[in-house]
Chain A
């Protein structure tokens, strides 16, 4: 299966700890996106990369959040000094950027619980 993969699938952490999530996109896709989803809501955009360049960040992405895609392949999302309000599902998606095709394919997500 060559879909989007995310690790870990679940993470429980204590408030104040740092956490890091990884996303491996579909191999030929050049764009990678991070979204956050809370219960009863649709996914909300956080940030996206084209190759290794981070092109847009949402206002939802506070200074405690940082994302990287160092070689234009996998990406990491780090949350420093976690707060209870950070508890959510963190979703990664990838797409092949080309004219006329704007389909984003999602991974299974990482469920974060901050206690």
Chain B
């Protein structure tokens, strides 16, 4: 079945640093979504991407839809302590039916 790969499993950065994370797939997706999840809560949508090559920003977050449609990237600039959490990528084939999620990357920010 379709799988999304996110690595590494954990990232540790200093407050104020930028961080990049990527997500790859062996299958093509028509939509890429990035979510953040805090412990005990549901995922919160950060950015949605709909076109290959698209670059979209949401505040300090920037995400890109890979040109091959098999990958996506999320950048967080000038990290702050509240950026701590688990970041998931998710792909949709475009039928708006089910999302396929990666395993997530746990981000820790040292003050």
Contact = CB atoms under 8 A, between A and B. Distances in A.
A43 B35 CA distance: 11
Interface stretch (A13-21, A76-84, A97-105): A97-105
Sort chain B's interface into a size bin.
20 to 34
Interface string B4-34: 1000000000000000000000000001010
Sort chain A's interface into a size bin.
20 to 34
A40 interface: yes
B60 interface: no
Interface string B91-105: 010101111111110
Contacts of A97: 96
Given A42-B90, A42-B103, A109-B42, A95 B96 contact: yes
A69 interface: no
B99 A45 contact: yes
A93 B97 CA distance: 11
B103 A45 contact: no
A58 interface: yes
B40 interface: yes
B98 A58 contact: yes
Contact of B98 (A6, A40, A48, A100): A48
B101 A104 contact: no
Given A102-B96, A109-B40, 14 more contacts: A6-B42, A40-B103, A41-B104, A43-B101, A45-B98, A55-B97, A100-B50, A102-B31, A102-B94, A104-B45, A104-B99, A105-B45, A106-B44, A107-B42
15 contacts: A31-B96, A33-B99, A42-B4, A43-B43, A44-B101, A45-B100, A56-B98, A58-B98, A102-B48, A102-B96, A103-B33, A104-B99, A106-B35, A106-B45, A109-B41
